[in-house]
Chain A
Amino acid sequence: MKRTAITLVAILAITATLAGAATTDRWLHIRVEERDGRGERVKVNLPLSMLGKVAGAIDVEEIDGHSFRGGRVRISDTHIDHGDLRAMWNAVKEADDMDFVNIESTEENVSVAKDQGYLLVRVRPGQNDGDDDEALDDDRRRGERVDIKVPLAVVDALLSAGEKELDLQAALMALAESGEGVLVVVEDGRSSVRIWIDDLNSSE
């Protein structure tokens, strides 16, 4: 699940990064803070217009079975049937607001919901069922929390490409039209990651 969450975060971050094609004044902000170790802090403020144009300029034929051309990412080594994925997404889109997935375990609780035009992914630490604390993995002990908020139109656009392709260009256009706000928050006891969009060129 952690890997899935990371993949979702990565896709969302890339999509957000590319969202500048239709905007001129919006900025993408990324904050990463480590609370232990060297206490690293990373702050990134980039104009979305620049990132959108960069995405359009990328032309990579083949890297590890993937290619990036014309704003579309082609994933060659996936076994997911695009038709099935699209059909499943259409069903989600047409459904009323609700929780689609609820997975509860001792490790973590994961929920995927549709709410007022957004797809919400939420990960919370699982309930302690009496296990010895030492048996818990590091993430759970530290209380990993993940919140992802993606406009439905963005996912729709992302899946609008052909077989084995993700249309990032279309997704970014949809994201740019969706306005400013927080896209991703990941927190645990050791670090936090926050990605958001607004009209300021600095987050201070």
Chain B
Amino acid sequence: MTNANPVLKIVAGLAVCGLFLFTLAGAAFISAGTVFISVQEKGSDGFSISLPVPVNLASTALSFIPEEALEEIRAEIGPWMPVVEVVLAELARCPDGPLIEVENDHETVTIVKRGGELVIDVDTRDETVHLSVPIRGVAKLVRQLGAGNHLG
């Protein structure tokens, strides 16, 4: 290594720094949690899809929405933003447990607080849908949307 080409040393150093920064950025990116969506059709030929979406990715995606569209969204949901924020903050605080269950002869919907997540499961004759939402991460997203600071 002592006889290594100086250029290679610089490239190696940059690579290590890049990897470190990438790891830091990745950790920061997933720290807000991940919204996990899964849809599975029933039956032998049913399709299924699982989609993890880091909250920070959604946060970043807000910056691609035109400001006019964001203003419209804010105008629509603005009066209810304090309510949404309160609900999310209180959900984050409350103990785990079933919050809402709706059952009938062909479908079941459950909303459960589990850990730091709100977990929604829908089970119908045709498909199952699973959605888990990191409460604090989404609360941050909502605050960001409400404040008009979509770049975070």
Say yes or no: is A92 at the interface (Cβ < 8 Å to chain B): no
Say yes or no: is A57 at the interface (Cβ < 8 Å to chain B): yes
* Contact in complex: B102, A41 (CB < 8 Å): yes
Instruction: Find B99's partner among A40, A46, A53 (CB 8 Å cutoff).
Output: A46
Say yes or no: is A182 at the interface (Cβ < 8 Å to chain B): no
Number of A interface residues in the complex (CB < 8 A): 22
Residues of A within 8 A of B82 (CB): 57, 59
Known contacts A44-B99, A201-B97; A54 and B86 CB within 8 A of each other: yes
Residue of A nearest to B111 (CB): A44
* Contact in complex: B87, A202 (CB < 8 Å): no
* Contact in complex: B79, A60 (CB < 8 Å): yes
Known contacts A201-B97, A202-B97; A41 and B86 CB within 8 A of each other: no
Residues of A within 8 A of B101 (CB): 41-43
Interface positions of B (Cβ within 8 A of A): 79, 82-83, 85-87, 89-91, 93-95, 97-106
Interface positions of A (Cβ within 8 A of B): 34, 38-47, 49-50, 53-54, 56-60, 201-202
| 12 pairs of residues in contact across A and B, judged by CB atoms under 8 Å | A38-B104, A39-B105, A40-B102, A43-B100, A45-B97, A47-B90, A50-B91, A50-B94, A54-B83, A54-B86, A57-B82, A201-B95
